[in-house]
Amino acid sequence: MALNARAKALVAEGVDVVNFTIGEPDFDTPDNIKQAAHLAIQSGFTKYQPAAGLPELRRAVARKLAADNGLDYSPDEVLISNGAKQALYMTMLVLLQQGDEVVVPAPYWVSYIHQARFCGARVALVDATGTLDLKPTPELLKAAITERSRALVLNSPCNPTGVVLSRDELRALLEAALEKDLWIISDEIYEKLVYDEAEHVSSASLGPQVRERVVTINGLSKTYAMTGWRIGYAAGPPEVIQAAGRLQSHMTSGADSIAQRAAVEALEGPQESVEEMREAFDERRHLLVEGLNELPGVSCLMPRGAFYAFPDCRGLLGRSYGSRRVENSLELCEALLDQAQVAAVPGSAFGAEGFVRFHYAKSDADIKKALERLGNFAAAGQD
């Protein structure tokens, strides 16, 4: 967010910055969804709704989970929230107490760590940055679990790496977690963005015993280009969902009524736009990752999900660029912004020093422009 603010400030000054910081689709929300919101306003649908969510939207989410994910949830086991981020936070608040421990694979999405700490919990990292594919393994997970561990956060497809866990990989991690009776918080916000025959598998779909310990987190931001509409949801055991609903009633009173009406249309209306966006991201993925791998000192795995590339940029560290010496990923991203006018996020924010996150929810022209600037920057490095 800080680098995004700096990038926007430079743009306001007339600087041509290619901004890869904030992960959101560059497409507009589909027209049918916007029209549903317009109709909601015109009809006066502007009052408080039930704190746990509009009943018709909870039913729509339950139908979606059954059709897409093989999950049998009643509407009472679904909570609508102000974005998936709030659903994650409320789930942690319900499940965790002071002194509990949350197990989080690294690289991780930045908010997991802070949300856990807001709950008074400690964080135990499963460091997968040294694995060839940046995936957590059961062995690494078991080594991180302690007697204080209460919950495991899983994110597949993953932000920032684009990693997608296979069914067997996911099952092995869940078995290791359930041996220690952990809750599973499964963040599946990027489920529709998978490539190269990769399959998204919902954690809760891997058997009734697993389902009893999983809270599934999802939302509409990435799939339907609805980041600003702030509609997310959680689905899971009724005692968890009901407790989170009571919490939400005191926290925000519930999600926006108009956005909820639009969300019903998103889930139950035409779905062609979802595939159109996925195909566009797929093409951009190849353009960005192949270009990154041509840069000296940079190596990038081909992501199989989400819309992020997470190159290993350690070959660019320990060098000088102009008058600036760069020793870590934050300094590298600051130098990239100041000298190449390319804004990206340092891997240190995700628990992966030496890496940098770029997103490919950008036009081909922007990606090509950024790659040219990155190439000139990398070539100018002095030992």
The confidence score (pLDDT) of residue 347 equals 98
Please state, rounded to an integer, the average pLDDT across all residues of the chain.
97
The gap from C-alpha 36 to its chain's centroid, in whole angstroms, comes to 26
Between helix 83-95 and helix 110-118 the angle, nearest 10°, is: 40
The confidence score (pLDDT) of residue 205 equals 98
The confidence score (pLDDT) of residue 2 equals 80
d(CA 34, CA 14): 32
Tell me the pLDDT tens digit for each residue of 68-91. Answer: 999 999 999 999 999 999 999 999
Q: What is the mean pLDDT of residues 162-188?
A: 98
The confidence score (pLDDT) of residue 170 equals 98
The confidence score (pLDDT) of residue 4 equals 84
What count of residues does the chain have?
Answer: 383
The confidence score (pLDDT) of residue 274 equals 98
d(CA 13, CA 6): 11
Strand spans (E) along the chain: 18-19, 78-81, 101-106, 122-127, 149-155, 183-187, 214-219, 232-235, 308-309, 319-321, 324-326, 342-343, 345-346, 356-359
Tell me the pLDDT tens digit for each residue of 216-259. Answer: 999 999 999 999 999 999 999 999 999 999 999 999 999 999 99
Element (H, E) at 377: helix 364-379
By the 8 A CB rule, do 92 and 113 touch?
no
By the 8 A CB rule, do 231 and 200 touch?
no
Residue (of 218, 209, 260, 206) closest to 237 by Cα position: 209
By the 8 A CB rule, do 20 and 358 touch?
yes
Q: What string of DSSP letters covers 155-224?
A: ESS-TTT-----HHHHHHHHHHHHHTT-EEEEE-TTTT-B-TT-----GGGS-HHHHTTEEEEEESTTTT
Tell me the pLDDT tens digit for each residue of 105-142. Answer: 999 999 999 999 999 999 999 999 999 999 999 999 99
Tell me the pLDDT tens digit for each residue of 22-57. Answer: 889 999 999 999 999 999 999 999 999 999 999 999
Output the CA angle 89-180-247, nearest 5 degrees. Answer: 25
Q: Are strands 232-235 and 308-309 parallel, antiparallel or unpaired?
A: unpaired
pLDDT over threshold 80, residue 162: yes
d(CA 105, CA 85): 18
The confidence score (pLDDT) of residue 380 equals 93
By the 8 A CB rule, do 350 and 312 touch?
no
Q: Which amino acid is at 152?
A: L
- Backbone φ and ψ for 265, nearest 5 degrees, come out as -65, -40
The confidence score (pLDDT) of residue 280 equals 98
d(CA 212, CA 63): 19
What are the structural domains of the chain? Answer: 2-28+273-379 (3.90.1150.10), 31-268 (3.40.640.10)
* Cα–Cα separations (whole angstroms), residue 104 to 12, 203, 351: 37, 15, 10
Q: What are the residues whose beta carbons fall under 8 Å from the beta carbon of 113, sequence distance 6 or more?
A: 104, 123, 351
DSSP letter at 305? B
Tell me the pLDDT tens digit for each residue of 255-307. Answer: 999 999 999 999 999 999 999 999 999 999 999 999 999 999 999 999 999 99
Structure tokens at 72: 């049998």
The confidence score (pLDDT) of residue 1 equals 75
The Cβ-side half-sphere exposure at 117, using a 13 Å CA radius, reads: 7
pLDDT confidence band for 5 (50 / 70 / 90): confident
pLDDT confidence band for 383 (50 / 70 / 90): confident
Residue (of 182, 160, 186) closest to 305 by Cα position: 160
Lowest mean pLDDT across 8-17, 116-125, 179-188:
8-17
pLDDT over threshold 90, residue 92: yes
